[in-house]
């Protein structure tokens, strides 16, 4: 038994269970091809120009990177018209979430978050001796009034995720206005826009404007998702320069490797690629809608390509196991699977080959987020089959 003494709060932290690696899934299930989507990566990969750029700089990895990330901060500044001293770069936005909690949360203080939401907000708060006040989603959306109402005198951060993970829903302008009006000025409003580029431009909220008008707003964006650089770990935060200065104090030096910095610059230089990916995904989404009509989509609320599969109340009981069985294990569709679907009378109108292509296209580059409903929802028989096929056959058995 270990005799060294681990701090109490560390022992009680929940474990983050990442999806299995592609290699592991191949080995365990004897698969040749696996598309991993466990963290909503862009399976189309980055713009090809980025790979070239990365190769060019590999010869310099004997040097430490620029600790202040000047070039990428300048680039973000130029693209989004934000002064460079209002920008911080993180080893993924995860790290900026951590920096925000490290700088603001003390023992007994709290963050207010939606439930369910992205796991790291709570974890980062717990790590500082804080707690998370959780406000259930309402109709899969942030319940803005309740979130604002849950803020108490110990609250230091309110986290909003737009579009949301895991439900893909959007927060609208009126709701942001409500928060701005009703949130105490000493509470930091963190707007996590990890999926920002998946929202068509005309529908985006002007969060850069919110930052320039208020000193208590921190906007987070990442190169991990639509730009396809998840493996390099780079994201950025935009806030008032006093907030950025505080975050910089807790930031470790050299937190962003030199290759990631170069790749992110190249990603912004080729940012029309993000538009291409988004359009492609929207087109595939439409095809998918027309095929799998019993899966419930929430496209009324979002333009993200997300599928929400109403799942049994298993989520509550055993989410980790469920996650491992279905979601984290990757995906492979074979024509045989598709034939099975057709045999079961599910997909009569479409040729097996065509459907395979649609599914593969869809899963390529899409944001695939299963939403495990905590409530028991009646299933239509056909829907149940789909659930089995999508989650069972496609993800695991083939
Ligand atoms: C809502 C949300 N925020 C932040 C992140 C973290 O992204 P990054 O790779 O920049 O750390 C994710 C990744 O899954 C996410 O879904």
CA nearest to 85, candidates 221, 190, 238: 238
Strand partners, 219: 191, 238
What is the pLDDT confidence band of residue 33, given thresholds at 50, 70 and 90?
low
Q: Which atom of ligand 1 is nearest to the CA of 234?
A: 10
Mutate to test the pocket of ligand 1, among 16, 18, 42, 94 (most ligand atoms within 8 A of CB): 94
The tally of CA atoms less than 13 A away on the side-chain side of residue 176 is: 23
Q: What is the pLDDT of residues 221-249, one digit of tens each?
A: 999 999 999 999 999 999 999 999 999 99
pLDDT of residue 110 exceeding 80: yes
Q: Is the dihedral of CA 63, 65, 68, 70 positive or negative?
A: positive
* DSSP 8-state code for residue 331: B
How confident is the model at residue 18, as a pLDDT?
62
Task: Give pLDDT, residue 328.
Answer: 32
Residue with tokens 């009646």: 378
pLDDT reading at 12 higher than 80: no
pLDDT at 302: 32
Its pTM stands at 0.78
pLDDT at 373: 23
Q: Mean pLDDT, the chain, as a whole number?
A: 75
User: What's the pLDDT at 25?
Assistant: 66
Q: Are strands 217-222 and 235-239 parallel, antiparallel or unpaired?
A: antiparallel
CA atoms within 13 A of residue 25's CA, in its CB half-sphere = 26
Question: What is the Cα 111 distance to its own chain's centre?
Answer: 19
CATH of domain 17-44+273-396: 3.90.1150.10
Tokens representing 235 are 């994201």
Ligand 1 pocket list (CB less than 6 A): 39-40, 92-94, 118, 161, 165, 192, 194, 222, 224, 230, 235
User: What is residue 301's DSSP assignment?
Assistant: T
Q: Which CATH class is domain 48-269?
A: alpha beta
Which residues, other chains included, contact 18 with Cβ-Cβ below 8 Å and sequence gap of 6+?
Answer: 38, 39, 328
Judged by average pLDDT, the poorest of 225-229, 327-331, 341-345 is 327-331
User: What's the mean pLDDT in 204-225?
Assistant: 96
First to last CA, the chain: 41
Per the model's pLDDT, the better-predicted residue between 133 and 363 turns out to be 133
| 325 vs 69, residue with greater confidence | 69
Q: Which residues sit opposite 121 in a β-bridge?
A: none
Counting from 1 in the atom list of ligand 1, the atom nearest the Cα of 222 is: 10
Q: 396 or 274: which carries more pLDDT confidence?
A: 274
Please state the φ and ψ torsions of residue 245, each to the nearest 5 degrees: -60, -40
Contact, 105 vs 83, CB < 8 A?
A: no
266 Cα: distance to centroid of ligand 1 (angstroms): 20
Position 241 scores a pLDDT of 97
The predicted pLDDT at position 334 comes to 40
Q: Which part of the chain has CATH 3.40.640.10? A: 48-269
CA within 13 Å, CB half, 311? 23
DSSP 8-state code for residue 129: T
Q: Indicate where the chain has its CATH 3.90.1150.10 domain(s).
A: 17-44+273-396
Ligand 1 atom closest to the CA of 94, numbered from 1: 11
């Amino acid at each position: 038994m270990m005799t060294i003494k681990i701090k109490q709060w560390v022992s009680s932290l929940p474990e983050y269970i990442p999806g299995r690696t592609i290699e592991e899934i191949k080995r365990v299930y004897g698969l040749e091809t696996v598309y991993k989507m466990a963290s909503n990566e862009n399976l189309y990969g980055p713009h090809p120009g980025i790979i070239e750029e990365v190769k060019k700089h590999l010869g310099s990895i004997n040097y430490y990177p620029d600790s202040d990330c000047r070039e990428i901060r300048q680039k973000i500044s130029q693209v989004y018209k934000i002064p460079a001293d209002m920008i911080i770069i993180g080893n993924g936005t995860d790290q900026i979430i951590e920096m925000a909690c490290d700088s603001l949360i003390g023992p007994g203080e709290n963050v207010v978050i939606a439930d369910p939401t992205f796991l790291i907000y709570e974890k980062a708060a717990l790590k500082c001796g804080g707690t998370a006040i959780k406000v259930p989603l309402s109709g899969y959306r942030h319940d803005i009034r309740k979130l604002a109402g849950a803020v108490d005198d110990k609250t230091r951060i309110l986290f909003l995720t737009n579009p949301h993970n895991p439900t893909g829903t959007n927060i609208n302008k009126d709701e942001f206005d409500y928060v701005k009006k009703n949130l105490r000025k000493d509470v930091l409003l963190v707007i996590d826009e990890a999926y920002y580029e998946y929202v068509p431009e005309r529908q985006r909220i002007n969060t850069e404007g919110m930052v320039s008008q208020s000193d208590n707003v921190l906007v987070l964006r990442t190169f991990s998702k639509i730009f396809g650089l998840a493996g390099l770990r780079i994201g950025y935060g935009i806030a008032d320069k006093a907030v950025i200065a505080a975050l910089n104090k807790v930031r470790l030096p050299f937190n962003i490797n030199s290759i990631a910095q170069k790749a992110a610059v190249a990603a912004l230089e080729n940012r029309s690629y993000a538009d291409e990916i988004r359009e492609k995904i929207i087109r595939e989404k439409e095809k998918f809608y027309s095929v799998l009509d019993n899966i419930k989509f929430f496209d009324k609320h979002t333009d993200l390509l997300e599928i929400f599969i109403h799942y049994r109340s298993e989520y509550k009981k055993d989410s980790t196991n469920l996650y491992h069985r279905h979601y984290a294990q990757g995906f492979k569709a074979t024509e045989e699977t598709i034939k099975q679907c057709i045999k079961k009378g599910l997909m009569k109108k479409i040729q097996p080959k065509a459907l395979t292509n649609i599914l593969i296209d869809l899963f390529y580059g899409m944001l695939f987020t299963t939403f495990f409903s905590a409530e028991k929802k009646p299933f239509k028989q056909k829907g149940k089959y789909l659930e089995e096929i999508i989650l069972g056959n496609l993800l695991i058995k083939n």
